Chain A
Amino acid sequence: MAAKKIAITVKVWRQTDQKVKGSLETYSLSDISTDMSFLEMLDVLNDQLTMEGKEPVAFDHDCREGICGTCGAVVDGVAHGPERETTLCQLHMRHFDNGQTICIEPFRAKAFPIIRDLIVDRSAFDRIIAAGGFVSVNAGSAQDGNNTLVAQHRAEQAMDAAACIGCGACVAACPNAAAMLFVSAKISQLALLPQGHAERKMRAQAMVTIMDNEGFGNCGNERECENVCPKGISIRNIARLNREYLRATLAANE
């Protein structure tokens, strides 16, 4: 389909840092090509604000192709916006109508403090991974790759889980701000593969403990996380996480 030009109004969350209160500001944009990505629309807005002597909107982004997990905002109430399985950077303006008003807010969660405008601090995710999201193997100590056989469907399932980009949309969408989908994706990947088995129990316990300490909420089975996940991470992983965790707790009590 050939590109069209549309005019839109955006309401964007503005907040200079963690300490001050933020608010929504309204801006008008004309001549937005429907072939533009959402972030390119924000680029245009920012150039416009700059030339008006105003502060541009701060937002995180890097790869702009849906893989680094840096971008993200809540668009009209939905983390990453209206397109299913699509990061904000891969959302295109053809999904919006001429004259539409679009509300853009940061990912909100207690564990993700706002740094500025749409930028939040997701370093809690790094600390969760540091707690156990790895296989303890030093460079140089591995055996030949083909000595570990992995059934194709297992490898595929592990890959499904490993596709998580760590964007945090699942947390932003969850009414309890739980990080279960994110944590379960890593736990599943490593539980499905033989390489992860030696540390299975330690991993489940350590990652869940840190998750709780970081201030993420509990899972209430609302499934909002799955609905917004840009990588289609399935809620079945949460069931697997629960099994892994239970197993670890039972074993610890033995």
Chain B
Amino acid sequence: MQLDAKIPQGDLAGKWDNCRFDNKLVNPANKRKFDVIVVGTGLAGASAAASMAELGYNVKSFCIQDSPRRAHSIAAQGGINAAKNYQNDGDSVFRLFYDTIKGGDFRAREANVYRLAQVSNNIMDHCVAQGIPFAREYGGTLANRSFGGAQVSRTFYARGQTGQQLLLGAYSSLMRQVAAGKVTIFPRREMMDLVVIDGKARGIIVRNLITGRLERYSANAVVLATGGYGNVFYLSTNAMACNVTAAWRAYKRGAGFANPCFVQIHPTCIPVHGDYQSKLTLMSESLRNDGRVWVPKQQGDTRNPADIPEQDRDYFLERKYPSFGNLVPRDVASRNAKEVCDEGKGVGETRLAVYLDFQEAINRDGLDLILKKYGNLFQMYEKITDADPSKEPMMIYPAIHYTMGGLWVDYQLQSTIDGLFVIGEANFSDHGANRLGASALMQGLADGYFILPYTIGNYLAQAGFDKQPVDDPAFNLVEEEVNERITGLLKNRDHNKAGTQPVDYYHRKLGAVVWDHCGMSRDKAGLTKALAKIPEIREEFYENVYIPGTGQELNQSLERAGRVADFLEFAEVMVLDALEREESCGCHLREESQTEEHEAKRDDDHYSHVAVWEYKGKNEQPALHKEPLRFENVTPSQRSYK
């Protein structure tokens, strides 16, 4: 596997210009001769499909949900960053770049991150023009808030529903192109595999989730915008359908998988409350702007929070990190919450929670203002927990939230398979070992509106516009393999057989193993244990899982089983990657690599690289390749938020 990042010549600020100038262009009249498949209709997929259609390409757009408008991006709450410096507080493209690369703990490419910061401003302009109802100041200008890890106020928002509004904006552009005949949407379709012909991505096999039938689609290029794999942990803040299948299948066809162990844990989620629980709910990080995090100073203090006087409370983030306080980055906040709970100071029934308290902010600004900012989040919290955060502190605990790892892509967003592009959360590109708040929306839209539409042209201009028939033997072969996999899942026809369990049982079991051993903090012994356990669960799964119904109909158990089957394979590579990276970095603490103050210790001498895994065949150990990271414009520093 060759890893050529194709970073353009020139100084940092000129690279994107140089790239655009050097890229081949497709003649406007020829664009309509090209077909592009875009899998996924989240921010990345919807924006890419719409923009490419605006340019004149024919786009086929696929998603699992019944409508493109429902992709997981819809759930993003807090906001989107842009280097507008509207607040006159010293922001700039370079500062956004610097914050992002530092936030990622110096594990991302300078050139990609700088480009992201550069186009951030175009994104905002476009989204405003689409009629997205961003929050405004009295004078009518756009409002900003500050967000975890940043000392400038650069986050734009639409109440607590920024993802929803941005996605509906992208969806509206997409539907406009549907009406114009440039995009065809294929909802309720799940990509089951990638078809590679002569080394080039030429099509996909999808399962029609209503009829159960397999369908074939071909194109001149394939774009994966299939989101992150956080659901490998079973419980996460991700939507239920989030999966690794598309990325995993591409990996098995030759796409490198980069940094799979880089997963983000979000500090402010509603704690787990029962074993039937199906997902975790995020409380936006923006709450930390006004909420203060604390636990009782005494272990096992079970008094009502209101009865615990100031002097008996430990505002541990403010105490340990006086300059950032409650706004320390996510990993620092998460790890410290876990630490105080491990010390026995956790609160709530499970003792796996800390308080997030708004009393001081309410006293200072008045309840009205606080409700204006967070009203819908307070409501959501109350619906789930039956407790009102304006009367008593919220309880929060960290949860799996985002995956920085993903398919490896070069500067053009192309994977190691020619013609296969990967955008949004599905790629690994911009967030290093940790993502700053409000940067995923920015990245998804940067990729989709302003980067891929240019870079894909460079590929198409050289690849030619021949049509790929779907009766090619390559399609037959891949479809046959997909069929075999489905048959394999439906093998157990006896629900009474001893040991038989439904799909979620295995998913939960896998989730518990990776959460325990490959979560916020990891060590060699735990990871080794996980590596032994995962194949056992996988075997048990194929032996005993019982899926009612057939493959030739709408079958939600079968859908979930296919995703769990891929998680069960993927998890092994994720753990392997974690084992290999013997440094603390970004989101995770590697127990063996800490400073004397128990802070994460990075090891630049040995791990300043992207770890890229190559599939080597069934029962073969995947091969590890390394893309070295070079820092010419920033000096990697050990992060300190003290």
Task: List residues of A whose CB falls within 8 A of some B CB.
Answer: 1-3, 16-17, 33, 35-37, 39-40, 43-44, 46-47, 49-56, 58, 60-70, 83, 86, 90, 92, 94, 115-116, 119, 121-123, 125-126, 129-131, 133-146, 148-152, 155-156, 158-159, 162-163, 165-166, 189-190, 193, 195-196
Contacts and interface: CB of A to CB of B under 8 A. Distances in A.
Q: Which of B51, B132, B138, B504 has the most CB of A within 10 A?
A: B132
A35 B65 CA distance: 27
Contact of A62 (B137, B176, B239): B239
B240 A150 contact: no
> Which 10 pairs between the two chains have the least Cβ-Cβ distance?
A149-B140, A134-B172, A142-B129, A142-B125, A158-B133, A145-B128, A130-B175, A195-B131, A159-B133, A53-B495
Contacts of A90: 380, 383-384
Interface string B96-124: 00000000000000000000000000101
Interface in B166-206: 168, 171-173, 175-176, 178-179, 185, 187
A122 B176 CA distance: 18
B68 interface: yes
B66 A130 contact: no
Q: Which of B128, B142, B165, B496 has the most CB of A within 10 A?
A: B128
A155 B129 contact: no
B546 A135 contact: no
Nearest to B554: A116
B556 A138 contact: no
A121 B500 CA distance: 33
Contact of A189 (B133, B179, B278): B133
B130 A134 contact: yes
A86 B74 contact: no
A40 B158 contact: no
B641 interface: no
B88 interface: no
A86 B383 CA distance: 8
B178 A130 contact: yes
B141 A149 contact: yes
A33 B122 CA distance: 48
A25 B509 CA distance: 32
Interface stretch (B8-16, B269-277, B607-615): B269-277
B279 to A, nearest CB: 5
A50 B74 contact: no
B136 A152 contact: yes
B548 interface: yes
Nearest to A148: B128
Nearest to B187: A123
Nearest to B386: A1
Given A65-B75, A68-B75, A145-B125, A129 B175 contact: yes
A154 B396 CA distance: 34
A64 B133 contact: no
28 contacts: A33-B274, A33-B276, A50-B546, A50-B548, A50-B557, A54-B548, A55-B548, A67-B164, A68-B239, A70-B65, A116-B554, A122-B66, A135-B172, A137-B173, A139-B50, A139-B126, A143-B125, A145-B125, A145-B128, A146-B142, A149-B139, A149-B141, A156-B133, A162-B165, A189-B131, A193-B133, A195-B129, A195-B131
A33 to B, nearest CB: 5
B450 A139 contact: yes
B159 A159 contact: yes
A125 to B, nearest CB: 7
B281 interface: yes
B173 to A, nearest CB: 6
B277 A40 contact: yes
Contacts of B165: 159, 162
B74 A67 contact: yes
Q: Which of B133, B172, B453 has the most CB of A within 10 A?
A: B133
Contacts of A148: 128-129
Contact of A155 (B135, B175, B349): B135
Contacts of B300: none
B159 A115 contact: no
B259 interface: no
B205 to A, nearest CB: 22
Q: Which of B137, B168, B504 has the most CB of A within 10 A?
A: B168
A67 B159 CA distance: 13
Interface string B450-490: 10010000000000000000000000000000000000000
Nearest to B270: A65
B161 interface: yes
A239 to B, nearest CB: 19
Contacts, number: 228
A136 B50 CA distance: 11
A43 B503 CA distance: 11
B185 A126 contact: yes
B233 interface: no
Nearest to B126: A142
B130 A135 contact: yes
B67 A126 contact: yes
B54 interface: yes
Nearest to A119: B554
Contacts of B276: 33, 36, 40, 43-44
Contacts of A66: 380, 383
Interface string B37-61: 0000000000100110010000000
Given A39-B278, A116-B554, A155-B133, 6 more contacts: A36-B276, A67-B164, A145-B124, A152-B138, A159-B161, A166-B69
B70 interface: yes
A126 B175 contact: yes
A218 B554 CA distance: 33
Nearest to A91: B383
A64 B279 contact: yes
B84 interface: yes
A67 B67 contact: no
Interface string B274-300: 101111011000000000000000000
A149 B134 CA distance: 11
B588 interface: no
A153 to B, nearest CB: 9
B397 to A, nearest CB: 15
B175 A134 contact: yes
Nearest to A18: B210
Contact of B176 (A69, A130, A144): A130
B130 A70 contact: no
Contacts of B449: 139-140
Given A50-B495, A54-B548, A150-B136, A137 B129 contact: yes
Interface in B527-572: 546, 548-549, 553-554, 556-557
Given A3-B274, A90-B383, A140 B126 contact: yes
Contacts of B125: 142-145
B631 interface: no
B132 to A, nearest CB: 8
Interface string B60-89: 000001111110101100000000101000
Contact of B84 (A70, A125, A135, A145): A145
A123 B139 CA distance: 39
A16 B279 CA distance: 28
Contacts of B126: 137, 139-140, 142
A35 B171 contact: no
B69 A62 contact: no
A36 B127 CA distance: 37
B344 interface: no
B241 interface: yes
B502 interface: yes
A115 B556 CA distance: 13
Contacts of A62: 65, 70, 72, 239-241
Contacts of A92: 383-384, 386
A133 B72 contact: no
A92 B384 CA distance: 7
Contacts of A129: 69, 171-172, 175
